[in-house]
Copies of this chain bind each other. A is one copy, B any other.
Amino acid sequence: MRNANRVLTLAARPTGFAGPEHFTAATHPTRAPEPGEVRLETLYLSIDPAMRVWISENPGYVQRIEIGDIMRAGGIARVVESRADGLAPGDLVWGQLGWQSAPTLRAAGLEKLDLGLGTPENWLGLIGITGLTAYFGVRDIGGIRAGETLLVSGAAGAVGQIVGQIGKLEACRVVGLAGGADKCRRLVDDLGFDAAIDYKAEPDLAAAIARACPGGVDVFFDNVGGETLEAAIGALAIGGRVVICGRISQTSLAVPYGVKNLGLLIGRRARIQGFVVSDFAARFDEGRHWLATQAKAGRLQQKLHVISGLESAPHGLGMLFRGENTGKLVVHVAD
C-alpha cells in the first residue's frame, strides 16, 4: 500500500452529531508532485469542533465541504518526495492535509515544523493552533490580569486545558467546567486548576458557578455556548469579559439555545467578544515561543487523546461532541 492514498470523503450531511455514517472511504493511487508540490505521508490528524461546522449546510464564514469532497483536516505529515524549495524528504510539516493517508499538496500551504520548539505531539496541540488559540484568546481577547477569576468551559478539552494553565501562570484563580468526575479530578490534580465543576452532576449550573466564583467571574473563556454561556453571564463580575472561542454544545443543533440574560451586560459593564486565531498570524512566533518556553520549563502540559487509524477519524468527530475525549483529540495514522 506504499503507493496508495486512502481518503475519506463526505457522503451525507449530518443533522445532529457527525459519525462514520456520514463519510465514505476510498483508495486512490498516490500522485507524483508537480513543481512546487510535495508528496506526504500523514502521521497525525487533528479532530476539531470546527469540522462539524464545515460539513453543515450553512457554515457561515468558512467555505463548506461539499458532498464527495475529501474531508478537510489539519495534521502533521512527513515529506516523502519533494519538488519544492525548502522541503526535503524526511521533513515534518503541519498543514491542511485532509482525511487522507498520502496526499500530494502545494508546499506553499505547509509549515515546516521546528522540532527545536517542541515534539510533533506538541505541534499538534500545545504549540500548534490549539495552544495559539488559548494564548491569544485568554490574553489578548480576554485581557486576564493577575488576581482575577478565570472560568473556562470545555476545560478538559484541547483549548480549555491550556487556557486554564495559562490562567494559573498569570496568577489567576482558575475554575474549569467539564463533564464527569474523572475530567474534573484531572483538572485540579494534574493541571493545577483551583476548582472544577462537573456540569453533568450539577442540577443548577449557575448556582455551582456562583459558589466556585464568590467574587464573580472576571473572564469566561467559552468553548461550549448555549446554557453554559447563559449561566456564566449570570456570574460575571463588574467589568467581566466573555471570550467566545467555540460553541460545541450548539454546533449540532438545528435551533441553537437562546441566551436570555444579555441585559445583565449593562449593569455589569461586561463584554462578549468572538475571535478567530488566524487574525493573530503575524504574532504566531511570539505565541509559540512563549508556549514552548513554558512547556520546556514544565509549567505547561497537554493531554493528547490519541485514536488509531485514518478510518477512526469519523468516529473521533462524534466522540468530540459526545464529550468522550479528555484533552486534544488526534488520529494517529502512521509512525
Decide if A265 is an interface residue (CB 8 Å cutoff): yes
Which stretch (A109-117, A206-214, A245-253, A283-291) binds chain B? Answer: A245-253
Decide if A260 is an interface residue (CB 8 Å cutoff): yes
Q: Which residues of B contact A256 (CB under 8 A)?
A: 260-261, 263
Contact A276 B267 (CB under 8 A): yes
Contact B269 A271 (CB under 8 A): no
Bound-state CA distance A256–B263 (Å) is: 9
Known: A255-B260, A257-B260, A259-B258. A272 touches B265 (CB 8 A): yes
Contact A274 B279 (CB under 8 A): no
Q: Which residues of B contact A262 (CB under 8 A)?
A: 225, 229, 244, 247, 259, 272
Give per-residue flags for A227-250: 1 if the beta carbon is below 8 A from chain B beta carbons, else 0.
001000000000000001111001
Q: Is the interface of A mostly helix, strand, loop or mixed?
A: loop
Select from chain B the residue with minimum beta-carbon distance to A265.
Answer: B274
Contact A265 B279 (CB under 8 A): no
Known: A271-B274, A272-B271, A274-B271. A244 touches B265 (CB 8 A): yes
Known: A244-B266, A245-B266. A273 touches B271 (CB 8 A): yes
Decide if A86 is an interface residue (CB 8 Å cutoff): no
Select from chain B the residue with minimum beta-carbon distance to A272.
Answer: B272
User: Interface residue count for A (Cβ, 8 Å)?
Assistant: 34
Contact A269 B279 (CB under 8 A): yes
Q: Which residues of B contact A108 (CB under 8 A)?
A: none
Complex copy number for this chain: 2
Q: Which residues of B contact A247 (CB under 8 A)?
A: 262-263, 266
Q: Which residues of B contact A60 (CB under 8 A)?
A: 264, 267
Q: Which residues of B contact A246 (CB under 8 A)?
A: 266
Decide if A281 is an interface residue (CB 8 Å cutoff): no
Q: Which of B62, B264, B266, B276 contacts A269 (CB 8 A)?
A: B276
Bound-state CA distance A274–B238 (Å) is: 10
Q: Which residues of B contact A259 (CB under 8 A)?
A: 258-260, 262
Interchain nearest-CB distance for A51 vs B (Å): 15
Contact A270 B274 (CB under 8 A): yes
Interchain nearest-CB distance for A248 vs B (Å): 11
Contact A62 B267 (CB under 8 A): yes
Q: Which residues of B contact A271 (CB under 8 A)?
A: 271-274
Contact A250 B274 (CB under 8 A): no
Select from chain B the residue with minimum beta-carbon distance to A229.
Answer: B262
Q: Which residues of B contact A250 (CB under 8 A)?
A: 263
Decide if A22 is an interface residue (CB 8 Å cutoff): no
Interchain nearest-CB distance for A201 vs B (Å): 25
Sorted nearest first, the 7 A-B pairs with minimum C-beta distance are: A258-B258, A265-B274, A61-B267, A266-B274, A271-B273, A272-B272, A258-B260
Using CB atoms and an 8 Å cutoff, list the residues of chain A in contact with chain B.
Answer: 60-62, 225, 229, 244-247, 250-251, 255-276, 279
Having A245-B266, A266-B275, one finds 5 other A-B pairs with CB under 8 Å, namely A247-B266, A258-B260, A264-B274, A269-B274, A271-B273
